[in-house]
Amino acid sequence: MQVLLEREGHSAVAESIRVVLARLRQEIASGEFDEKSLDLALGGLSAAVERQLRQSLSHSLLSVINATGVILHTNLGRAPLAAAALDHVRATANAYSNLEFDVGTGERGKRDVHVDRLFSKLLSDHVGTDAFVRPAERSAAAISTIVVNNNAAAVLLALNSLAEGGEVIVSRGELVEIGGSFRIPDVMSKSNATLREVGTTNRTRIADYERAISERTRLLLRVHRSNFEITGFTEQPELDELVALARSRNLPLMEDLGSGALFDLRSVGINDEPGVLDSLRAGIDIVTYSGDKLLGGPQAGLISGRADLVGRMRSNSLFRALRVDKLTYAALEATLLAYVRRDHDAVPVLRMLRLSKYEIECRAEKVVSEVKSAQPKSALKLEFIDGESVIGGGAAPSAVLPTRLIALTHIDLSADELSARLRANIPPIVARVEEGRVLVDLRTVFPEQDTVLVKTLSSLA
């Protein structure tokens, strides 16, 4: 104990002793201990205190192996960052940086410039000059982008900047709630804009928007149903109808994409998830989306669109409260550079989306072969079955990607017990449990993690 005191200090050791003794008292009070067990517990107090101390001083936030096949798993941190993003964060975080300093002039600069220039290449250069028709004097490259801390903040800032004190028209079928009880009506209330609902849950027509426009209308809002679908007897206006109406009434049209991709999802068989370019090319004035979903970067809320409207948001005092730090800018800049270079496989999310069933199957066969070689007589049964990976993160809820799964069963353990053993591994391995089997999908397992997976499965066998 004296060694612990000298190494970790009196305060930390005393707290661990209190926790261990409180746990022991609770177990005694519950009647779980007989005299022999109590003697053993008391004899092991020193080791228990050391274990508790080690746990209390270790990191709670851990790296885990995502074997669920859910690419944007919200509970597992959504998009993993590209190696280049991590390198750029490290390079700019362990020293001073030019975050708000113009090296050329020696004057104070703006933190926006580090990524706005890249968004301009990816968005402005690919949106025609006729995408926006007002005001006439704006140049072709009149798309600007600002960054806040998440998409909820982006929606809040946009609504407050463009519609404070006025009305925002939105379809009842788009009043969505996403994870963490974030509801569109609630954020609208916080923005000091008034919600004007039109249509019904399943059917809204362009005439509903038209009738609702008044002198108090400041904005037309379209919310992408990113985490659910309405099917059957449904109707909603075409995007070009909303664009035409907004222009005829000289009102901004905003779309909350939620996820938002800069990558053509049609190339991987996902056809019904609009990308940022799709919306801007259609003539939408302001688009809000997340950085850590289909874009594959750090957590951030991105607002892209007409430079004059984005300028109003940039000058809003709320923008400072919602802005992001140098680490986010560094990770986002490196991620966007991969897009500019068209190095899509450098972005983990895009690489996982592009994996074929055959590629996953080849890796799965190698993993199973190595486990069986290590443990020829095994209590762990490994089989191959066809399955589906999903995007997750509230993106493309109906889209699935064909995959090949490793199905695990154990002679002595139930599926839940086997799953718990995998989670107890270091690093924890998180898999799916379905129909009495543990399912491992290598789509979301990094190739360099296969070795850890083999070693863990071999030990369970």
Q: Is the pLDDT of residue 8 over 80?
A: no
Residues 233-246 pLDDT 10s: 567 778 899 999 99
Of 19-28, 316-325, 326-335, give the lowest mean pLDDT range.
Answer: 19-28
Task: Answer yes or no: are the C-beta atoms of 405 and 39 closer than 8 Å.
Answer: no
Band the pLDDT of 205: cuts 50, 70, 90: confident
Q: Is the pLDDT of residue 191 over 50?
A: yes
pLDDT of residue 181: 58
Higher-scoring residue by pLDDT: 400, 271: 400
Task: Answer yes or no: are the C-beta atoms of 281 and 311 closer than 8 Å.
Answer: no
Domains of the chain: 2-56 (no CATH), 65-74+352-460 (3.90.1150.180), 83-346 (3.40.640.10)
CB count within 10 Å of CB 49 equals 20
82/79 Cα distance (integer angstroms): 9
Q: Is the pLDDT of residue 66 over 70?
A: yes
Tokens 């709670």 belong to residue: 60
Band the pLDDT of 35: cuts 50, 70, 90: low
Q: How far is CA 143 from CA 158, 187, 189, 248, 285, in A?
A: 15, 25, 28, 21, 9
Q: Is the pLDDT of residue 453 over 60?
A: yes
Total-model pTM: 0.85
pLDDT of residue 188: 74
Band the pLDDT of 7: cuts 50, 70, 90: confident
28/34 Cα distance (integer angstroms): 9
Q: Is the pLDDT of residue 229 over 50?
A: yes
Of 1-15, 37-51, 74-88, give the lowest mean pLDDT range.
Answer: 37-51
Of 3-17, 233-247, 313-327, 377-391, give the lowest mean pLDDT range.
Answer: 3-17
315/388 Cα distance (integer angstroms): 46
Band the pLDDT of 2: cuts 50, 70, 90: confident
Band the pLDDT of 139: cuts 50, 70, 90: very low
Mean pLDDT, range 112-122, rounded to an integer: 93
Please list, residue by residue across 162-201, b when 16 or more beta carbons sit within 10 angstroms of its beta carbon and e when fewer do.
Answer: bbeebbbbbbebbbbebeeeeebeebbeebebbbbbbbee
Q: What percent of the chain has pLDDT above 70?
A: 88
Residues 424-438 pLDDT 10s: 998 999 999 999 999
352/66 Cα distance (integer angstroms): 12
